[in-house]
Chains A and B, each alone.
Chain A
């Protein structure tokens, strides 16, 4: 039996996997690494992070949101970004790194990838700072200022990456940046090429030049029109790919250059009255239609969790069952 890591490599290289890669099993994500999380810590909390972005998590909701009313918007005018946006330090004490280092040292790297985690992404950071509407319009109205802001965020990411590499020597990177809605990418491929692609070529290029073998990018959205760009920037696995992308067709077109991890939409199966039958139906369809290579069945959720208790674990059990049937 192949290790989780070997099985992953067989899957993404077009070899001979002996089972489906089961969701996030190949990554041991070092979430203890000190970072400025883009979240309020739990229901009923509100925090202002070090970038000056306020996140609110109302008690009855399943996640936190950046606040963009006039009082809370961190960047009100893109032309003033240099005055308004100050990146936090990327330097943390050895004590702050200790838990992450201990976790990384405990991982059997033959079995799993020690995985660094980065969120929010570069595009997300622009709209967390400004609001989605302001950020998208600024791409047209003030493109030079937006490029400067993006460069500034890239410099921060590169500096943070250097620290992560130094402390935990990751084999993989799991990086968030949502690039679309369920039905379309937020911006056109041409605009993506101008603003986002160059930024990620630098960031992902740096990680790969510093020991990271595997770039896993999360975007739980439609982004089929951006797959050539994903390949160009060095993404090995697109996690969160939703069914609206027609994943079997993407595998036919791009398999061998990139692997697709998802095709089980969390929105369809992860809700208060979830059922094993619904998860089985969607997972079986995904596995049968997408096949054994260049595909990892997974919830579209951006971590190895679900919004409602039991859904992630049930999905994993079903994938194991399907592996026994199909391999």
Chain B
């Protein structure tokens, strides 16, 4: 097994104490830092697929994301440029009137692990705060709106409408959360929908690179 393969395997297994050392060993072995990063992103893609299919559960996803994060910390000084993501920035938040953050946090972790820079606006985010965040941050490619309550679906609709009506361009909007269906996402004008965190990362990547 090469050092890069070891890094991949340990990220997938969530070995956050081992991954930083293995990343250093992979660098010492002459591997390109970008290749190491791509390998970790690939691992998280596998983790996301396994989560979506029910093969693994939330703890496994969390520890894998933590392992990758520890690896990226070691890798960042070695990456070319300013260390910003190739895929761009993703603005994420739970819509106004809704305080649920667990699902949103998992989606944020997985989208970050797919290679985005994240701007997490937290919970109970008014529509105009999403719009302002798109203006305030560079290279926004994805805006992700989360909502868990049936009663806050109108707030999600309002957020998507405000973002679309802002005149700002260059990004796509994805939505998700327990009551959200693909049909509802289309109805309110979202560009994408994801039923879970693993799928959200895949969808975000596809939309950002389309």
Binding site for B on A (CB under 8 A): 58, 60-62, 65, 132-133, 136-137, 139-141, 181-188, 191, 267-268, 270-272, 307
A–B complex contacts, Cβ < 8 Å, 8 sampled: A133-B62, A140-B14, A140-B59, A183-B195, A183-B196, A187-B58, A187-B59, A272-B151
B-side contacts of A139, CB under 8 Å: 59
Q: Known interface pairs A65-B99, A183-B196. Does A267 touch B150 (Cβ–Cβ under 8 Å)?
A: yes
B-side contacts of A271, CB under 8 Å: 150-151
A-side contacts of B178, CB under 8 Å: 181-182, 267
Closest 6 CB pairs of A and B: A136-B59, A271-B150, A182-B178, A188-B57, A267-B150, A271-B151
A-side contacts of B97, CB under 8 Å: 60-61
A-side contacts of B58, CB under 8 Å: 132, 136, 184, 186-187
B-side contacts of A191, CB under 8 Å: 57, 59
Chain B positions 91-139 with a Cβ under 8 Å from a chain A Cβ = 97, 99, 102-103, 105, 124
CA distance A268 to B181 in the complex (A): 12
A-side contacts of B66, CB under 8 Å: 137
How far does the Cβ of A199 sit from chain B's closest Cβ, in whole Å?
Answer: 17
Query: Contacting B63 at CB < 8 Å: which of A137, A187, A272?
Result: A137
Determine if B149 and A188 form an interchain contact, defined as CB atoms under 8 angstroms apart: no
In the complex, residue of chain A having the shortest beta-carbon distance to the beta carbon of B59: A136
B-side contacts of A188, CB under 8 Å: 56-57, 60
CA distance A139 to B179 in the complex (A): 29
Does B54 have its Cβ within 8 Å of any Cβ on chain A?
A: yes
In the complex, residue of chain B having the shortest beta-carbon distance to the beta carbon of A307: B151
Most interface-central of B62, B66, B179, B196 (chain A CB within 10 A)? B62
Query: Contacting A141 at CB < 8 Å: which of B56, B63, B150?
Result: B63
Most interface-central of A140, A187, A270 (chain B CB within 10 A)? A140
How far does the Cβ of A219 sit from chain B's closest Cβ, in whole Å?
Answer: 15
How far does the Cβ of B75 sit from chain A's closest Cβ, in whole Å?
Answer: 22
B-side contacts of A268, CB under 8 Å: 150, 179
How far does the Cβ of B93 sit from chain A's closest Cβ, in whole Å?
Answer: 16
CA distance A307 to B151 in the complex (A): 10
Determine if A133 and B149 form an interchain contact, defined as CB atoms under 8 angstroms apart: no
B55-82: CB near A (< 8 Å → 1, else 0) gives: 0111110110010000000000000000
In the complex, residue of chain B having the shortest beta-carbon distance to the beta carbon of A222: B54
Determine if B99 and A267 form an interchain contact, defined as CB atoms under 8 angstroms apart: no
CA distance A140 to B56 in the complex (A): 13
Most interface-central of A137, A139, A268, A270 (chain B CB within 10 A)? A137
Q: Known interface pairs A61-B97, A61-B99. Does A184 touch B54 (Cβ–Cβ under 8 Å)?
A: yes
Determine if A185 and B149 form an interchain contact, defined as CB atoms under 8 angstroms apart: no
In the complex, residue of chain A having the shortest beta-carbon distance to the beta carbon of B57: A188
CA distance A58 to B98 in the complex (A): 10
A-side contacts of B54, CB under 8 Å: 184
Query: Contacting A140 at CB < 8 Å: which of B63, B105, B151, B196?
Result: B63
B-side contacts of A65, CB under 8 Å: 99
Q: 8 new A-B pairs (CB below 8 Å) besides A141-B16, A181-B103, A271-B151?
A: A132-B102, A137-B66, A141-B63, A186-B59, A187-B59, A188-B56, A267-B150, A272-B151
Determine if A137 and B149 form an interchain contact, defined as CB atoms under 8 angstroms apart: no
How far does the Cβ of B25 sit from chain A's closest Cβ, in whole Å?
Answer: 22
In the complex, residue of chain B having the shortest beta-carbon distance to the beta carbon of A244: B178
B137-176: CB near A (< 8 Å → 1, else 0) gives: 0000000000001110000000000000000000000000
How far does the Cβ of A221 sit from chain B's closest Cβ, in whole Å?
Answer: 10
Query: Contacting A267 at CB < 8 Å: which of B56, B59, B179, B196?
Result: B179
A-side contacts of B62, CB under 8 Å: 133, 136-137
CA distance A215 to B59 in the complex (A): 28
